[in-house]
Structure 1
Amino acid sequence: MDFGQIVQSITVYALPLLFAITLHEAAHGYAARKFGDQTAFMLGRISLNPAKHIDPVGTIVVPLAMALLNTGFIFGWAKPVPVNFNNLRNPKKDMIWVAAAGPGANLVMAVFWAIMARVALELGGFGSFWWLMAIAGIQVNVILMVFNLFPLLPLDGGRVLSGLLPPKLAWEYNKIEPYGMFILIGLIVTGLLTPIIFPIIQVVVQWLVTLFIL
C-alpha cells in the first residue's frame, strides 16, 4: 500500500468515523439527561464537538494503524460518556434506552450514509470520492452498532440485556462486568467474535444497500 493509498484511506474514513463515535457518545448523554441523569450534561459531553469525545488511542492511534496496515476497514472508539444509572428515574428500565441510544444513533447515521451513497452514485458513479466516503460511513456505523450491541458488559448490549433480565438474574449477570473487557479481548484475539458478529454486519449492510442504493 503506497503513501497515496494510505492518505486516501484516511481521508475517506476520517469524517464518517469522527461523526460515528461523536454522535454515538452524545446520544448516550442526551438519553441519560432525558431520563433524569445530568452527569454528561454538566460535564459538557452532550455535544457534537468531536474534541469533547476524542480518545487519543481509540480515535486516533487505532484507526491510523488500521489504515497503515490496510485492514480493509477502519474502526475506533471515543471516550465513554459518564452516566450515573442511579440518577435515572427508573434505573433498570431507563438503562435500556440510554444504552441503546448509542447504537441507535449509529443506525440512523448508517441510513444517512446509504442515502448519500445513492446520491453519490447518481452524480459521480462507482469509485468517486463521495461514493467511497459514503460506503465507509455505512461500514463504520454498522460495525459500531453491531459490535456495541454484543450482549457483554460493559458494552451497550450488555446494559440492554441487564435491563431486560429479571432482577435476580440481572444481579448475577452484572457480576461479570469487572471481567467483561478481558473476555471481550479474549474473544477478539482468538477470532471467536468475528464469526458471531460478522454475519449480522453483512445482513445489515445488505439491507441498507437493497433498501437505499440499488
Structure 2
Amino acid sequence: MFDFNILHIVAGIPGLLIAMVMHEYAHALVADYMGDDTPRLMGRLTLNPMAHIDPIGALMLLVARFGWAKPVMINPNNFRSWRKGELCVAFAGPAANLIVAFVALVAQVVFSRLDLFTGTALQLVLSMIVIYNINFAIFNLLPLPPLDGSRILMCFLPSEWNYRLASLERYSFIILIALMMTPVFSYILIPLQRLVFSVFSLALLPFL
C-alpha cells in the first residue's frame, strides 16, 4: 500500500496537485452552479492549489496513493433542489478526477504512438496523474463521512440513519488509517481500480 520510492513520489507531485485541485474545484463550481455561493465566498472557486490542499491528505496520497483534500464547505439550503444539488456536488469531484485520468491516459497513448517519449520521465508523470486521479476518485466515493460517498448515500437514507452515519465522522480519520494499514483497504479499492482501467481500455480500444 505504501510507496516510498523517491522517484515515484517526485513524479507523482503533479498528479497529486491536479487530483486535489480538480476534485475540489469541481465541487465548488457545481455547488455555485446549483445555487450555493458558499464556496465562492470562502475562496474555493479557484484553481490555486493552496486553497484546496490538506497537508496530511497530500502526504497520504504521495506515499499511499490514497488521500484527501480540504473539503469544500457548502450550504445545501441554498440549492434550488436539495437532493439534486447534493448529488451533483458530491459526484462532481470524483467525476472530475476520472475525466482527468482518462485525458492523461489518452495523452500517454498519443505520445507513445507519435514516439514523443524521449525518456521515461514524462511517461512516469502521466502514469502518476492517471493513478492518483483514479485512486482519488475511488477513495472519495467510500461511504464514510465526510467523503463524497457518504453524502451520496445520505441522499437516499432515512433521516435517522443519516444522523448515525454522520456521527461516524469523528472517528473517520482513525478508521481510514486503520484500513490503510490492513489488507482490507486493498481488497476493496484495487478491484475498483482495475474496473476503471478496464472501462478506460474499452473506450480506447478503437484507437489502440
Q: Which letter maps to 2:81?
A: N
Give the Cα separation in 2 of the matches to 1:74 and 1:197: 11
Question: TM-score, normalized by length of structure 1?
Answer: 0.81
Q: Give the secondary structure class of the aligned counterpart of 2:102.
A: helix
Tell me the matched-pair count.
201
Q: Which letter maps to 2:37?
A: Q
Distance 1:203 1:134, change over 3 A: same
Q: Which letter maps to 2:45?
A: I
Deviates more, 1:148-157 or 1:8-17: 8-17
Aligned counterpart in structure 2 of residue 102 of structure 1, from 88, 93, 97: 93
The answer to whether the aligner puts 1:118 opposite 2:114 as a matched pair is: no
Tell whether the 8 Å contact from 1:139 to 1:205 is kept in structure 2 after alignment.
Answer: no
Question: TM-score, normalized by length of structure 2?
Answer: 0.83
Instruction: Report what 1:88 is aligned to.
Output: 79
Q: CA RMSD in A?
A: 2.5
Which stretches in structure 1 are left out of the alignment for 5+ residues?
A: 67-72
Give the Cα separation in 2 of the matches to 1:181 and 1:158: 14
Give the Cα separation in 2 of the matches to 1:78 and 1:151: 16
Q: Give the secondary structure class of the aligned counterpart of 1:83.
A: coil
Q: Which letter maps to 1:154?
A: P
Instruction: Report what 1:53 is aligned to.
Output: 52
Instruction: Report what 1:151 is aligned to.
Output: 143
Aligned counterpart in structure 2 of residue 140 of structure 1, from 132, 135, 142: 132
Instruction: Report what 1:37 is aligned to.
Output: 36
Instruction: Report what 1:69 is aligned to.
Output: none
- The Cα shift of 1:76 comes to 4.0
Distance 1:113 1:77, change over 3 A: same
Distance 1:174 1:98, change over 3 A: same
Q: Give the secondary structure class of the aligned counterpart of 2:175.
A: helix
Which stretches in structure 2 are left out of the alignment for 5+ residues?
A: none
- The Cα shift of 1:202 comes to 1.3
